[in-house]
């Protein structure tokens, strides 16, 4: 099972950016990436990374019909620059037994 993280406030609100009239929720491969993105984005300071599961993902989609997700590979880059991910793709990532190998944005494949 792959852990994918989104930012949630203590009152249950999910962090989302507005992009072309639609809400875009950034998701991260690790809680560390989410914390690093939070350090450079003032609007995220009240949010904490939460591991998404199928139930939480469905809760987000039901609460907001006009919502998109973006997978952030580099937490130090702009959050709007993340790769768009469909709900079905994200659900598949969360439920997959063998996560795909992904090079960290800072690592070198030869080291």
Q: In whole numbers, what is the pLDDT of the chain averaged over residues?
A: 83
pLDDT confidence of residue 111: 46
What does the alpha-carbon distance between residue 24 and residue 42 come to, in Å, rounded to a whole number? 17
Judge whether residue 1 has pLDDT over 60: no
Main-chain phi, psi angles of 78, to 5 degrees: -65, 140
What does the alpha-carbon distance between residue 30 and residue 82 come to, in Å, rounded to a whole number? 14
73-110: per-residue pLDDT in tens? 998 888 888 889 988 888 888 887 445 555 555 555 55
pLDDT confidence of residue 49: 94
What does the alpha-carbon distance between residue 26 and residue 34 come to, in Å, rounded to a whole number? 9
Judge whether residue 15 has pLDDT over 90: yes
């Amino acid at each position: 099972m792959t852990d994918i993280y989104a930012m949630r406030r203590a009152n249950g609100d999910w962090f989302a950016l507005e992009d072309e009239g639609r809400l875009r929720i950034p998701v991260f491969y690790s809680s560390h990436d989410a914390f690093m993105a939070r350090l450079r984005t003032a609007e995220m300071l009240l949010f904490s990374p939460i591991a998404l599961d199928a139930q939480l993902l469905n809760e987000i989609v039901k609460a907001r019909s006009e919502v998109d997700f973006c997978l952030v590979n580099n937490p130090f880059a702009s959050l709007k620059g993340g790769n768009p991910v469909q709900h079905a793709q994200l659900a598949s990532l969360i439920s997959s037994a063998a996560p795909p190998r992904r090079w960290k944005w800072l690592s070198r494949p030869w080291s």
